[in-house]
Amino acid sequence: METLRTDLPLTGDPASDAEAGLVEDELQRFFADAKLGAVAVGAPYLALWEALERAAAGGGRSRPRLVLLAYRHLGGTDTRTAARLAASYELLHSALIVHDDVIDRDVVRRGVPNVSGSYRTKALREGAAPALAEHAGATAGILAGDLALSGAYRLLRSLDVSQSIDRRLHDILDEAVFSAVGGEVFDVEFSRSARMPSLEDITKTAHQKTAVYSFEAPLQAGAVLAGAPDSAVAALKSFGRFAGITYQLVDDILGVFGGEDSTGKTGWGDLREGKRTVLLAYAATRPQWNSIASLIGTPDLGARDAEHIRTVLVTCGAKDFAVGLADEYAQRALSHLESDGVPAALRGRLRRLLLAVVAGVRTA
């Protein structure tokens, strides 16, 4: 139902911050070109592009930063080209979250109205009935997401690289889209079913929906653009897979135990939605489940219910289990970095990154 809420702890590193500035430049140029074309079509089209640009602003740029991290550490020197590749992953991310928000009927992201939310509000202000206003929001979200998806391909194709690198980069992007949609299909399926999915189903969905496009693909793409050996690309792909699952597990734990500050959410939104997480899948196998099953997924679930559920998730061992699983996936991720192709500096950087994430969940 949700994409990751927690940004990777990549900000604050001067090299990464400087590169991220170049990504902003690329995105700004992309949107400036698009808006110029949209103005010629008419004001409502410009407005949609502006809404998409706002939706793409303000994130932690985790995916672009992973592209650039791999690129720089694997000997890449054409940072401007890498920044454009990185920007294409940010547009892919925008496409997926804008459509995801339509599917989840979310109208807010990062504390501000998203594309659907802002169009819905506009329609309501203009006197539309609630159902029509919601549909106006969904329509804008569908179209804006299409523009972002097409934009991701456009930026990628505009790179000045050899045909063989171009093909590999496109294959990686295609695979990212293919997996993300596949993961979303399962996510939607689980959220509709009364049955609790298995642990395997949950980690598999996390892999398909999040790990591939947010970790595997950006790291691989950066490595391929840098001309890294196949062993390094393969190692980063495997690292990305398990790091991505780790992240999703951590994100799910923080969604219940993280409190409002760290995720920008109320701290029980996931419980109210009945989001299928490892916490719940584990708890559902324990006798204590009966005391919370009927609360989870109820629209009027409040702070006291949430506190009760948290207590049960701790006492039945679900929290420890989930934290342990996150640890385990983190270790599996790190083991893949022990490849000859991965330079020590990159290994160290990715290790610190992942351990910081897992440490965050220990104190939650």
Residues that bind its own copies (CB under 8 A): 34, 37-38, 41-42, 44-45, 48, 95, 99, 102-103, 105, 128, 132, 135-136, 138-139, 142-143, 145-147, 149-150, 153-154, 157, 163, 166-167, 170, 174, 177-179, 181-186, 188-189, 192, 204, 208
Structure tokens at 138: 């969904």
Helix axis angle, 130-157 to 79-104, nearest 10°: 160
Query: Between 164 and 294, whose beta carbon lies closer to its own copies?
Result: 164
Query: Between 122 and 351, whose beta carbon lies closer to its own copies?
Result: 122
Strand runs labelled E in 100-194: 108-109, 112-113
Provide the CA 43 distance to its chain's centre, in angstroms. 31
Kindly state the smallest distance separating residue 238's Cβ from its own copies, in Å.
Answer: 17
- Which DSSP state fits 285? T
Kindly state the smallest distance separating residue 55's Cβ from its own copies, in Å.
Answer: 15
Query: Between 183 and 258, whose beta carbon lies closer to its own copies?
Result: 183
CA distance linking residue 306 with residue 59, whole number of Å: 28
Query: Between 171 and 327, whose beta carbon lies closer to its own copies?
Result: 171
CA 320, 324, 330, 333 dihedral sign is: negative
Query: Between 182 and 343, whose beta carbon lies closer to its own copies?
Result: 182
Query: Between 16 and 203, whose beta carbon lies closer to its own copies?
Result: 203
CA distance linking residue 347 with residue 91, whole number of Å: 27
Provide the CA 214 distance to its chain's centre, in angstroms. 6
* Helix or strand holding residue 109 (H, E): strand 108-109
Kindly state the smallest distance separating residue 274's Cβ from its own copies, in Å.
Answer: 14
Hunting for tokens 């902003």 — which residue is that? 24
* Helix or strand holding residue 112 (H, E): strand 112-113
